[in-house]
Amino acid sequence: MAHRSRALGAAMALAALALVLGPLAAVGLWAGRAGMPTPGDWAAFRFTLWQAAASAALSCALAVPLARALMRRRFPGRKAFLSLIGAPFILPVIVAIFGLVAIFGRNGWINAALAPLGLPPLSIYGPQGVILAHVFFNLPLACRMLLSGYAAIPGEHWRLAEALSLPRFRFLEWPMLRQRLPGAALLIFLICLTSFAVALTLGGGPRATTMELAIYQALRFEFDLGKAALMAVAQCAVCLAALGLAGRAALAPVAAPGLGLQARLPPGPLWLDAGVIGLAGLFLALPLAAVVASGATWIFDLPPTIWWAALRSIVVALAATALAMAMALVMARAGGRLAEVAAALPLSASSLVTGTGIFIILFRVIRPEALALPATVLVNALVALPFAYRILRPALAQVEADYGRLADQLGLGGLRRWRLMLVPLARGPIGFAAGLIAAMAMGDLGVIALFASQEQQTLPLAMSRAMGAYRMGEAAGAGLLLVLLAFGMFWIFDRGGRDVRA
């Protein structure tokens, strides 16, 4: 039974490798046909690296005081605030951008408040807008990573340091920060390298064109496959280097096991902690509030094209979830080095790079537009595979360690083992992983932008086009609908995965 499971897992891992490496190989072959990089290409390369590094540094720098304030304070609504911190990760990117524009845009709330004071208006378009959006998405991620680091320091260590009058930052906080911050910064750097929707909406122009945007422009407007492939290869090389550095940045844990006392930092100035938490809360909550406020009056007046786009998004999200979960479950059940490599490899290529490879493979055989939705399903499943695998692998391994020998004695194998043991006992992580994938796929604006015609657009693409055409009321209603669908899918899957006995 174990042998068949490992064989099936190896076959699934090989299929995942082929699905990732095939498009990358096509990209690599076409890159050889490209000419020398133009000054514009080098400018896009430099800006991509610069904005990713600046976004990562700023996100981590702001996360430190926020994490310290949250560890020092217990206040009503703290759990709700922690839930708010997790919201940007599943919030559709295009919706968050709409909310940021509503707050910081030319006619946004901030400029409306500055105008009576005679102050110059702010502009969200350009490099500053790209970095602002990336900080909005990644500040919560960095904060979560630091909160887990603070929680890992035993409460006894804080008490001992206080009793001995030791500098607690030097002996407790700094070793943890030195361990966690490099990995967090590299992860955020990698995320910002492959960000497409942010650059498409807030960037553009010679000063704020990323490699992702250059790939899109080369394919969609210039049909220069060689240039698109060259930029895709350059981006993959940078992503692989960042992944390698991220692996080396993982240091050994700095805290020894404790007796289970709650970790809590010594209290600091109340005004400082309240200010940090309040400003962070406003920064994260106001864009979402702007989407709800703007979209509530338009959601029931949306044209039929938006509702059809929403239906396509639901189908794409469910299909991508089913495919990603099938691959992740089989690979996580088998484990092994091959599965680890296959599950990590999609991180080296963004959905747009993988879509570029699929476009290159298909364009001589069939009109790529004819396979827009299947290609979107496949790419979204591959992009979600690393997240699903990391969630499911420990859960399934723990179930096997606890009950695997008993299941072998009872002769449980194949589908019966899944139905009677693995799925019921790993129900929570399975539901969480499925909800995360569905929300990510629901809000994806990547490969669909390369392939889709007007009749094949998904809801994020329809919203992006409405924003580009300055149909802001339609975009607001579509944004609210997209938020409801993405969070609704996450809630349904996550809720369904919880143990009903809990």
Q: What is the CATH number of the domain that holds 419?
A: 1.10.3720.10
CA nearest neighbour of 219 among 30, 36, 380? 30
Q: How many domains does the chain have?
A: 2
Q: What pLDDT, on the 0 to 100 scale, is given for residue 279?
A: 93
Q: What pLDDT, on the 0 to 100 scale, is given for residue 3?
A: 66
Q: What pLDDT, on the 0 to 100 scale, is given for residue 247?
A: 65
Tokens 């790419």 found at: 379
Q: What pLDDT, on the 0 to 100 scale, is given for residue 502?
A: 41
Give the amino acid at 33: R
Same domain assignment for residues 245 and 352: no
- What is d(CA 477, CA 475) in angstroms, rounded to the nearest whole number? 6
- What is d(CA 400, CA 405) in angstroms, rounded to the nearest whole number? 8
Residue 157, both tokens: 């260590």
Q: What pLDDT, on the 0 to 100 scale, is given for residue 413?
A: 79
Q: What pLDDT, on the 0 to 100 scale, is given for residue 501?
A: 39
Same domain assignment for residues 281 and 305: no
- What is d(CA 361, CA 345) in angstroms, rounded to the nearest whole number? 20
CA atoms within 13 A on the CB side of 45: 18
Q: What pLDDT, on the 0 to 100 scale, is given for residue 254?
A: 46
Task: Provide the 3-class DSSP secondary structure of residue 500.
Answer: coil
- What is d(CA 488, CA 494) in angstroms, rounded to the nearest whole number? 10
Same domain assignment for residues 458 and 349: yes
314 lies in which domain range?
1-28+296-502
Same domain assignment for residues 4 and 127: no
Same domain assignment for residues 227 and 307: no
Q: What pLDDT, on the 0 to 100 scale, is given for residue 382?
A: 92
Same domain assignment for residues 175 and 214: yes
Same domain assignment for residues 15 and 102: no
pTM for this predicted structure = 0.86
Same domain assignment for residues 138 and 252: yes
Concatenated DSSP letters of 66-124:
HHHHHHH---TTHHHHHHHHHHHHHS-HHHHHHHHHHHHSTTSHHHHHHGGGTPPPP--
Which of 229, 257, 288 is the C-terminal boundary of a domain? 288
Which of 256, 288, 320 is the C-terminal boundary of a domain? 288
Same domain assignment for residues 321 and 338: yes
Same domain assignment for residues 431 and 448: yes
- What is d(CA 461, CA 476) in angstroms, rounded to the nearest whole number? 13
CA nearest neighbour of 34 among 294, 239, 219? 219
Q: Which helix (H) or strand (E) holds 126?
A: none
| Strand ranges (E), 305-406 | none
CB atoms within 10 A of CB 35: 10
Which of 262, 288, 314 is the C-terminal boundary of a domain? 288
CA atoms within 13 A on the CB side of 119: 10
Q: What pLDDT, on the 0 to 100 scale, is given for residue 133?
A: 93
Same domain assignment for residues 195 and 335: no
Q: What pLDDT, on the 0 to 100 scale, is given for residue 180?
A: 85
Low-confidence ranges of the chain (pLDDT < 70): 1-3, 155, 157-168, 204-206, 246-267, 497-502
Q: What pLDDT, on the 0 to 100 scale, is given for residue 336?
A: 80
Same domain assignment for residues 262 and 329: no
Q: What pLDDT, on the 0 to 100 scale, is given for residue 500?
A: 42
CA nearest neighbour of 329 among 224, 199, 430? 430
